[in-house]
Amino acid sequence: MEKLDRITVNPDVCLGQPTIRGTRITVSVILKMLAAGHTVQEVLEAYPELEAEDIYQAIKYAAWLASDQLHMEPVA
């Protein structure tokens, strides 16, 4: 897996959820915005402390997690 140096997991920050380094912005918040149809630019406007690479690494992190799930049945 390629290095995801912008994603951090700290049990003392956001209950241990993956966040963007140096912030309390969770990967899930970014992914939910994108899933709701917001663009990368809109996410950056909502969270000016982020950079585009933060968002791309959040997506890569989610893809890595999804690929790690074996034998998962699709929800009907």
**SS3 state at 30:** helix
The encoded tokens of residue 39 equal 């663009």
Q: Where are the beta strands (DSSP E) in the chain?
A: 7-8, 19-20
18-36 pLDDT tens trace: 999 999 999 999 999 999 9
Q: Is the pTM of this model over 0.85?
A: no
Q: Which CATH architecture has domain 7-67?
A: Orthogonal Bundle (1.10)
* pLDDT (mean) for 32-53: 98
Distance, CA of 29 to CA of 39 (rounded, Å): 13
The reported pLDDT for the residue numbered 75 is: 55
Residue 9, C-beta contacts closer than 8 angstroms, at least 6 positions apart? 16, 17, 18, 19
Residue 73 has pLDDT above 90, yes or no: no
